[in-house]
Amino acid sequence: MIHHRWSGKRALLAVTSMGLAAALVAGCGGTTKDSAESGSGSGANSEKVADPNAPIKEGLQIAFLPKEIDNPYENIVDQGGIAAVAELKGTGKEVGPSDASASSQVSYINTLVQQNQDAIVIAANDPNAVAPALKDAMAKGIAVVSYDSDAAVDARQVFVNQADSESIGRSQIQMVSEQIGGKGKIAILSATPNATNQNTWIEFMKDELKKPEYKDIELVTVAYGDDDDQKSFQETQALLSSNPDLKAIVSPTTVGISAAARYISSSPYKGKVVLTGLGTPNQMRQFIKDGTVKEFALWDPEQLGYLAGYAAAALASGQITGKEGEVLKAGKLGERKIGKNGEIILGPPTTFNADNIDEYDF
């Protein structure tokens, strides 16, 4: 009898501990910015005709809605956007939720509609969750631009993309190949294993490696630091110790590259292993200056916001409607052609090194 009672308790314990373990696993989710790929379909306002010579209206009210209000990256983007709106004699503001969950932006969109904003610029947390609210806004004549992370194609007029995934992926390989002299073993330190952005880039990196000029470069493995400092640190250690002849690590995520740089800068691998990838200049300044990292890349987030600000103003003034082939005049950035599905691309990523890093502050 006694035995039975104990085994009952033991079963209960097993169940509770399973639950605990599940909670542990679930609690460790990493954060990764993902931009949804655009599908098919056309903008809702495609019937309207663009007047490329229409003047930009003065006093436009344009709101920037980031994924979350405390995201440092998005704040820089929005600063660029607000600066663009100011250039055009309008009023720009940034509002947003404190968490990046799928539905948290909806109430903000509704409020902005009630405030009669002329345009909403949004980095969608979820392409579909915000779609009904955005369609409602468009129906009331408000221009909707998505940037950084797209909303559903029929729920916005224009999507301002930082750079196309292909050029990001391929340029990473070109950069690392140049630094290791086109020969040797390399590894990738990514974010989470299911991060959309990173996985798309890595596919293009692998594709680029198939080209004959990279035949002497071998991609040993892809490690995942989960965009967590400690995990990225440990993955870097593992990469270096399990591949003694590793020539370079490419980390296409800002958390990964800075953690890897910090580890390498205080280890015997400094100066022997090349580290490159995507990072922000402020984060990497120290490691460029102490020689750990020679070169890395990123699009300029401020320019991304700037371009989105111009796109929003042009839409609200009727200069563009979001149709393929229209041309957006974007102040100091020059002109951008609108591509398929209303997509505007900022341009190839900027490369940072010891010569130019002090010109950037983000």
Partner 1 sequence: MSRLRALLSGRELSIVVALVAVVGVTTATNPSFLSAQGIHDLFLNASIIALLAIGQTLLVITRNIDLSVGSVMGLTAYMSGQMFIADHDTPTILVVLAGMALGAACGAFNGALVAIAKVPALVVTLGTLYVFRGINYGWASATGVHQINADQMSQGFLAFGSGSILGIPHLTLIALAALVIAAYALHNWRSGRELYAIGSNPQAARLAGIPAGKRVFTAFVVSGALVGLAGVLHASYFGTINASVGTGRELAVVAAVVVGGVAIFGGSGTVLGAVLGALLLTTITSALPILGVPAFWQRAVDGAALLLAISLDRAVMVRLAERLRKERSLRRA
Site residues, partner 1 (CB under 8 A) = 2, 6, 10, 13-14, 17-18, 20-25, 27-28, 31, 69-72, 75, 98, 193, 223-224, 229-231, 233-235, 237-239, 241-242, 244, 255, 258-259, 262, 265-268, 280, 282-283, 285-287, 289
Query: Could you tell me how many residues make up the chain?
Result: 362
Q: Are strands 295-298 and 350-353 parallel, antiparallel or unpaired?
A: antiparallel
Pure H helices in the chain: 2-27, 72-87, 106-114, 131-139, 165-180, 196-209, 229-242, 254-265, 281-289, 301-316
Nearer to partner 1, 228 or 295 (CB): 228
Nearer to partner 1, 79 or 161 (CB): 79
CB of 192 to partner 1, least distance (A): 8
Element (H, E) at 119: strand 119-122
CB of 108 to partner 1, least distance (A): 16
- HSE-up of 150 (CA within 13 Å, CB side)? 26
CB of 77 to partner 1, least distance (A): 12
- HSE-up of 144 (CA within 13 Å, CB side)? 30
CB of 42 to partner 1, least distance (A): 37
CB of 266 to partner 1, least distance (A): 4
Nearer to partner 1, 230 or 356 (CB): 230
- HSE-up of 93 (CA within 13 Å, CB side)? 11
CB of 81 to partner 1, least distance (A): 16
As a whole number of Å, the CA-based R_g of the chain is 23
Give the residue from 347, 301, 282 showing the smallest Cα distance to 77.
301
CB of 140 to partner 1, least distance (A): 30
What CA–CA distance (Å, rounded) separates 124 from 96? 11
CB of 242 to partner 1, least distance (A): 5
Q: Residues with Cβ < 8 Å from 145, sequence gap 6 or more?
A: 119, 120, 121, 122, 156, 157, 158, 159, 160, 308, 311, 312, 315
Nearer to partner 1, 262 or 336 (CB): 262
What CA–CA distance (Å, rounded) separates 108 from 105? 5
Nearer to partner 1, 227 or 326 (CB): 227
Nearer to partner 1, 31 or 46 (CB): 31
Give the residue from 195, 123, 125 showing the smallest Cα distance to 160.
123
Nearer to partner 1, 91 or 286 (CB): 286
Nearer to partner 1, 107 or 230 (CB): 230
